């Protein structure tokens, strides 16, 4: 009997782990998107020691006024990041972008744009290794009320990420007691 499905689905778990143990960390990261089965194999604690280290380094933003002030520091000492840091794949990439948070390979950015002649922004969650991104819907909260925005993502548990926007409510009362 010939197994059905795609060629990737026909590979045994041991064979997938053996193949992935011989490729770069970048390929391992991208392979998480092949299927839920592969994601589970890559994230399984028993396989982590056999697979290449997937932590390539750290992204961080700077307080300079330069365009797209993203910086990358490698944990292995390599000078070149494993992927581009220009973020030209983001919408309106020619306008300022702020790095707000990161979690397990995903980045939460504030991307500015012009709407009706007025400057505005939207949140974007992106994966710089795959250059995939999604624009988040507006929460409707005034930007001056937003204290912080955080990203949560654990690929071992789910392929979904969560964004938390913490808001400060200013309730003033004219009465005093």
Dihedral sign from CA coordinates of 122, 126, 131, 137: negative
What is the pLDDT averaged over residues 122-144? Answer: 84
What is the share, in percent, of the chain residues with pLDDT greater than 90? 10
pTM exceeds 0.75, yes or no? no
Q: From its phi and psi, is residue 117 left (phi > 0), alpha (psi between -120 and 50) or beta?
A: left
Report helix, strand and coil shares of the chain as percent, to nearest 5.
20, 30, 50
Q: Is the pLDDT of residue 122 over 80?
A: yes
- Region of poorest pLDDT, from 38-42, 124-128, 142-146, 150-154: 142-146
Residue with tokens 């969560």: 162
What DSSP designation does 30 have? H
Mean pLDDT, all residues of the chain: 77
Distance, in Å, from the CA atom of 136 to the CA atom of 139, rounded to the nearest integer, reads 9
What is the pLDDT averaged over residues 47-59? Answer: 71
Q: Is the pLDDT of residue 108 over 70?
A: yes
**Mapping DSSP to helix (H, G, I), strand (E, B) and coil, where does residue 69 land?**
coil
Highest mean pLDDT among 63-77, 78-92, 128-142: 128-142
Q: Is the pLDDT of residue 1 over 50?
A: no
Q: Is the pLDDT of residue 47 over 50?
A: yes
Q: Is the pLDDT of residue 22 over 80?
A: yes
pLDDT of residue 160: 92
Helix (H) / strand (E) element for 18: namely helix 13-20
What is the share, in percent, of the chain residues with pLDDT greater than 70? 75
- Region of poorest pLDDT, from 106-110, 111-115, 141-145: 141-145
Residue with tokens 């494993």: 82
Residue with tokens 């970048």: 26
């Amino acid at each position: 009997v010939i197994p059905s499905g795609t060629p990737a689905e026909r590979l045994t778990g041991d064979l997938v782990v053996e193949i992935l143990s011989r490729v770069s960390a970048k390929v391992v990261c991208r392979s998480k998107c092949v299927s839920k089965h592969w994601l589970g194999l890559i994230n399984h604690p028993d396989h982590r020691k056999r697979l290449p280290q997937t932590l390539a380094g750290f992204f961080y933003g700077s307080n300079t006024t330069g365009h797209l002030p993203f910086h990358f520091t490698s944990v292995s000492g390599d000078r070149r990041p494993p992927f581009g840091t220009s973020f030209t794949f983001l919408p309106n990439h020619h306008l300022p972008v702020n790095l707000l948070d990161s979690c397990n390979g995903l980045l939460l950015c504030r991307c500015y744009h012009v709407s009706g002649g007025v400057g505005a922004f939207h949140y974007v969650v992106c994966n710089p290794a795959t250059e995939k991104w999604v624009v988040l819907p507006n929460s409707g909260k005034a930007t001056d009320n937003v204290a912080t925005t955080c990203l949560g993502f654990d690929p071992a548990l789910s392929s979904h990420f969560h964004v938390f926007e913490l808001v400060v409510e200013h309730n003033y009362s004219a009465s005093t007691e």
